[in-house]
Structure 1
Amino acid sequence: MRDIHELEDFLAGATVADEVHALRPDYRALLLAVDGIEPAASDDESEALLIRAEASAAARLADRPVEELPHIAAWRDVYRAFGAKPQRTRNSLEALTRRAANGLPRVNRLTDIYNAISVSHQLPLGGEDLDAYTSAPHLIRAAGTEPFDTTAGGETVIEHPDAGEVVWADSSGVTCRRWNWRQCRRMQLTDDTSAALFILDVLDPATDDDLAAAADELTTHLRVLGANVIIVRRLITNN
């Protein structure tokens, strides 16, 4: 298990490229590195969070379609700005919000918690296995040659992002395509994950207070996932 200084050093190496901030100067990323998690199946607490998230999505969608929700609309705009088609590749927040009407997925308590908080707070929120990283994460505009391991037809395949696509990457390749669309297979949280990185993505009109509220709730629920949980956070902005 890592100590707090190791987590701080890992987050200190994370970067957002200037060309990403040039695309959206208002973008902010809040990273939480966590270790000491005791893996467990979905439980009553995570179920309650998912039910609350489903209800919050239903309330928001009572008078407007999902694509008109403010933060989802902002992400659809930024996807278009780097050449992605948001109606074909939906950001993680939109994909989850659309699923909420028929029930959010129940995976394990760690995944359930961050999915519920993403929908309730209307922020894209990714969770990845910290032990799978081979370097600190970097948000870049891809050259188009970087490897991305995924599945197709039940088989493992290596794909590549489009040139100019915004991706998270480490020294081994792309960890998440199209900013917050789909993570690679090696980063997926599993029933054995004991250390994780969470990335909260924010664009206007979401505020810094909105971001802090989501991170604070995530932190509260992560702290009870083990007697020795350690959490470190870092905010990356355009200054």
Structure 2
Amino acid sequence: MAKFIITDEFWELFPQAEIAVVLAKGIQNTEAHVADVRQEINELLQRSSKEATKFLTEEVFSENKVISVWRKAYQQFKTKKGVRCSIEALLKRIEKGTGVSLINPLVDIYNAVSLTYGLPCGGEDIDTFQGDLLLTKAVGGELFLALGDEEYDNALPGEVIYKDEAGAVCRSWNWRDGQRTMLTENTANAFLIIESVDPERKYDLEAAAASLAELTKKYLGGTVEIALMNIVNRELTL
């Protein structure tokens, strides 16, 4: 069976990182399935957006701790100019008052969890993976077509990415997902991930993973499994 493997190259950069994975299998991520509870999911996202203002206590946006720790992390590897982590992108919307758009049930759920806990959350369709999924440093040139793009924008040498045998799955750690592996209404088996580079937030990470698993099962059905990964526990069977 395929595995998720966090490689030595990653741990050399971020030995204190902790990553929570939720494997959600046999889910129904369709609007038809959640029709009776769609308003609950919408309200969950709205509440989390309001709650997220607790992370914005500094006058200078980049000096808020949940953002500054990721700014520093992104300085440790090659990125495109202006690339920011996913939680910063969400919190920027909160700061500006533009709100977070609805996408599909599972993405809306993990965005709500991300905002509630101030941690990057993401997700991919397991059934689209080719071979093992790696969190590693790019060789360079790994194929990548980002969400919303029409042209390929491939990985840079030394960039931290998620990748499989077909190319990059998510670029610059958690900046942009690719079209090939994105969560859709057809997704039945999902790989959900929450990342932390702040050792002080271990319990927040664990609580976020538990919440993500609970909400996914509650609204989308199926089964859920949580794995907490670190420099010692770096492989997971998918």
Question: Where on the TM-score scale, by shorter chain, does this alignment land: which range?
Answer: 0.7 to 0.9
Alignment length, in residue pairs? 225
CA distance in 2, matches of 1:162, 1:111: 27
Q: Give the letter aligned to residue 135 of structure 2.
A: L
Is the 1:35–1:196 Cα contact (8 Å) retained in structure 2?
yes
**Cα distance, 1:113 vs structure 2:** 0.5
**Cα distance, 1:158 vs structure 2:** 2.6
Verify: 1:60 aligned to 2:55, yes or no: yes
Verify: 1:127 aligned to 2:123, yes or no: yes
Distance 1:29 1:20, change over 3 A: same
**Aligned partner of 1:159 among 153, 161, 166:** 153
**Cα distance, 1:71 vs structure 2:** 2.5
CA distance in 2, matches of 1:60, 1:207: 13
Q: Give the letter aligned to residue 231 of structure 1.
A: V
CA distance in 1, matches of 2:216, 2:147: 30
Q: Any residues of structure 2 matched to 1:78-117 within 5 Å, and which?
A: 78-84=73-79, 88-100=82-94, 101-117=97-113
Cα deviation digits, residues 47-95 of structure 1 (max 9, x gap) = 1211112112223325444322222211111111113367x11111100
Q: Which residue of 2 aligns with 1:175?
A: 169
Give the aligned CA root-mean-square deviation in angstroms. Answer: 2.0
Distance 1:182 1:112, change over 3 A: same
Q: Give the letter aligned to residue 14 of structure 1.
A: F
CA distance in 2, matches of 1:35, 1:99: 31
CA distance in 2, matches of 1:33, 1:207: 22
**Aligned partner of 1:232 among 205, 225, 228:** 225
Q: Which residue of 2 aligns with 1:31?
A: 21
CA distance in 2, matches of 1:64, 1:206: 23
Is the 2:147–2:176 Cα contact (8 Å) retained in structure 1?
no
Q: Percent identity?
A: 32
Q: Which residue of 1 aligns with 2:144?
A: 148
Q: Any residues of structure 2 matched to 1:11-50 within 5 Å, and which?
A: 13-41=3-31, 43-50=38-45
Q: Give the letter aligned to residue 56 of structure 1.
A: E
Q: Which residue of 2 aligns with 1:217?
A: 211
The answer for unaligned runs of 5 or more in structure 2 is 233-238
What SS does the aligned partner of 2:198 have? coil
CA distance in 1, matches of 2:198, 2:147: 33
Cα deviation digits, residues 152-181 of structure 1 (max 9, x gap) = 7x63x3332111100000111110000000
**Cα distance, 1:149 vs structure 2:** 2.2
Q: Could you tell me the TM-score, scaled by structure 2's length?
A: 0.87
Q: Could you tell me the TM-score, scaled by structure 1's length?
A: 0.87
CA distance in 2, matches of 1:63, 1:143: 38
Is the 2:78–2:160 Cα contact (8 Å) retained in structure 1?
no
CA distance in 2, matches of 1:62, 1:73: 12
Distance 1:85 1:76, change over 3 A: farther
CA distance in 2, matches of 1:66, 1:187: 31
